[in-house]
Amino acid sequence: MTTENIQTYDVIVIGAGPVGENVADRTSAAGLSTVIVESELVGGECSYWACEPSKALLRPALMRADATHVPGIDPAVGNPLDVEAVLAHRDRMSAHWKDDGQVAWLKSAGIDLLRGHGRLTGERAVSVRTPSGDTVRLRARHAVALSTGSRAALPPLAGIENLRPWTSREATSASTPPGRLVVVGAGVVGVEMATAWQALGSQVTLLARTDGLLPRMEPFAGELVTERLREAGADVRFGVSVVAAERAADGEVRITLSDGGQLTADEILFATGRAPRSEEIGLETVGLTPGDWIATDDSLTVTGVPGDWLYAAGDVNGRALFTHQGKYQARIAGAVIVARAFGERLDTDRWSPHSATADGEAVPGVVFTDPEVASVGLTTIEAARTGRAVEVVDHDLARLAGALQYRPDYRGKARILIDPDRRVVVGATFAGPGVSELLYSATVAITAEVPVERLWHAVPAFPTISEVWLRMLETRRDS
């Protein structure tokens, strides 16, 4: 037998990942009563199955790769990793898949938590099915924010429900390295998990249906990552896909490839994209289609729904599937909700706290492979696709004293794209050890639209890899 309660709040947030937490933090801090609804762990995908555990697995592999090439360091650092210690560190970084700390933070911030599955039932109305089977009905005075994130998208492969494949969740939380791991997918998850598990002792086969890794980035980035994966012992294959796979009675995975080849593995990871977690949150009750990405305007207000009460931030809106972009959106959604609740006029200027312009013009991302890849803004592929004129400036990072101090055998490349009319940087890609620390400077240059002439006066310290900015400007001047 179920019981029903009706509770009223100023703001209801569905989804307690980093995005939902940030929306709730901002509305609660402004004095709006806020409840957050979560069906799994408070802290979301990033804390337990994505950002935190994946980087905990990758960091030892990348540090070993760097250390083995630095003169004077004990050659023993090149020995196999201590798998038990790495996995224990991963478990700590994932809080052992317990959310006590996050729950305590919500309480300290004055945010109520309701555990259960939340779904819209109409305008400003949410129904929550609790773990005990009760139904709690919520009503929002001002806003409902959807921050339900995304999930791994599996391919339409016959019998996949019986295959028990890995997705990103299993890949980041596995308790032991599989002896043989087949990774399907050439994107960020695929290459990062191939890097991690190869370093932890698995024999990895990486299958890409494209002709290179990281196909959305500059081609040189994927080429460098491919080179290092193969040097580490991974089997990287291009132009091939899985047409059939089954798990035998002994647990072995038997795979048939599009080129007629056969593989056997202990586990198979499908890293073939993401899908919105929007299929069971009641979108149909407000005229939207369940299972679709939820479209918003730059204030993160959901389009196609009358009134300014429904918001979507983070992966579920499909604008930019990164935790940092979701948190950026959360800050804006929270500011918009607060402004509207108190009757303030929204500032629609592109630099205002009420407009998510960075989702389109300067989205930074790092791939934590060996070597690292960091990219923000436009790529030459996207420029060609859209017919946008750009000036391309390249530089070999191995020619920098700072890079050679980092690793004597340094291999890497930098590229910036310049708008020839406005004379500002519109895109940057770096591939090489340690380049993730170059990304924020590139993001600032693009977002602030710093004229190239002015960049000459941003002096990089010597000897650091940041000196590449000066060298690229010199290359452009001399060309």
Residue 166, pLDDT > 60, answer: yes
The model's pTM: 0.95
Instruction: Give Cα 145 distance to the centre of its chain.
Output: 20
Q: Tell me which H or E stretch contains 417.
A: strand 413-419
pLDDT confidence of residue 360 = 85
Structure tokens, 263: 């593989």
May I ask the CATH class of domain 4-48+94-151+275-358?
A: alpha beta
Q: Report pLDDT digits (tens) over 70-102.
A: 889 988 888 999 999 999 999 999 999 999 999
3-state SS of 94-124 is: CHHHCCHHHHHHHHHCCCEEEECEEEEEECC
Interval 300-313 mean pLDDT: 97
Question: How far is the C-alpha of 396 from the C-alpha of 451, rounded, in Å?
Answer: 23
pLDDT, averaged across the chain? 96
CB 300 within 8 A of CB 336: yes
Per-residue burial over 2-37, b = 16 or more CB atoms within 10 Å of its CB, e = otherwise: eeeeeeebbbbbbbbbbbbbbbbbbbbebebbbbbb
Homologous superfamily (CATH) of 160-272 is FAD/NAD(P)-binding domain (3.50.50.60)
From residue 205, alpha-carbon distances to 44, 155, 178, 402 in Å are 29, 18, 12, 34
Q: Could you give the strand order of the β-sheet that contains 262-265, starting from the edge strand earlier in sequence?
A: 242-247, 253-257, 262-265
From residue 11, alpha-carbon distances to 26, 44, 126, 337 in Å are 11, 19, 11, 8
CA 417-273-431 angle, to 5 degrees, is 35
pLDDT confidence of residue 479 = 63
When pLDDT is cut at 50, 70 and 90, the band that residue 5 belongs to is: low
Interval 426-439 mean pLDDT: 97
Give the start-to-end residue ranges of the domains of the chain. 4-48+94-151+275-358, 160-272, 371-478
Interval 6-14 mean pLDDT: 97
CATH assignment of 371-478, given 3.40.50.1100, 3.40.718.10, 3.30.470.30, 3.30.390.30? 3.30.390.30
Q: Do domains 4-48+94-151+275-358 and 160-272 have the same CATH topology?
A: yes
pLDDT confidence of residue 4 = 56
Q: Is the C-alpha dihedral spanning 209, 210, 216, 220 positive or negative?
A: positive
CB 19 within 8 A of CB 321: no
Question: How far is the C-alpha of 157 from the C-alpha of 143, rounded, in Å?
Answer: 40
When pLDDT is cut at 50, 70 and 90, the band that residue 1 belongs to is: very low
Interval 276-300 mean pLDDT: 98
Structure tokens, 102: 């996050």
* Region for residue 160 given its phi and psi (left: phi exceeds 0; alpha: psi -120 to 50; beta: otherwise): alpha
Instruction: Using alpha carbons, select from 242, 155, 202, 190 the residue that is nearest to residue 369.
Output: 190
Instruction: Using alpha carbons, select from 164, 165, 163, 162 the residue that is nearest to residue 184.
Output: 165
Interval 264-285 mean pLDDT: 98
Q: To the nearest whole percent, how much of the chain has pLDDT over 70?
A: 99
Question: How far is the C-alpha of 346 from the C-alpha of 336, rounded, in Å?
Answer: 7
Q: Could you give the strand order of the β-sheet that contains 180-184, starting from the edge strand earlier in sequence?
A: 235-238, 203-208, 180-184, 267-270
Instruction: Using alpha carbons, select from 175, 210, 213 the residue that is nearest to residue 195.
Output: 213
The total of other beta-carbon atoms located within 10 Å of residue 216's CB is 15
Q: Report pLDDT digits (tens) over 463-479.
A: 999 999 999 999 887 76
Q: Whole-angstrom distance between the N-terminal and C-terminal Cα of the chain?
A: 77
Q: Are strands 413-419 and 391-396 parallel, antiparallel or unpaired?
A: antiparallel
Q: Report pLDDT digits (tens) over 358-387.
A: 998 899 999 999 999 999 999 999 999 999
CB 288 within 8 A of CB 330: no
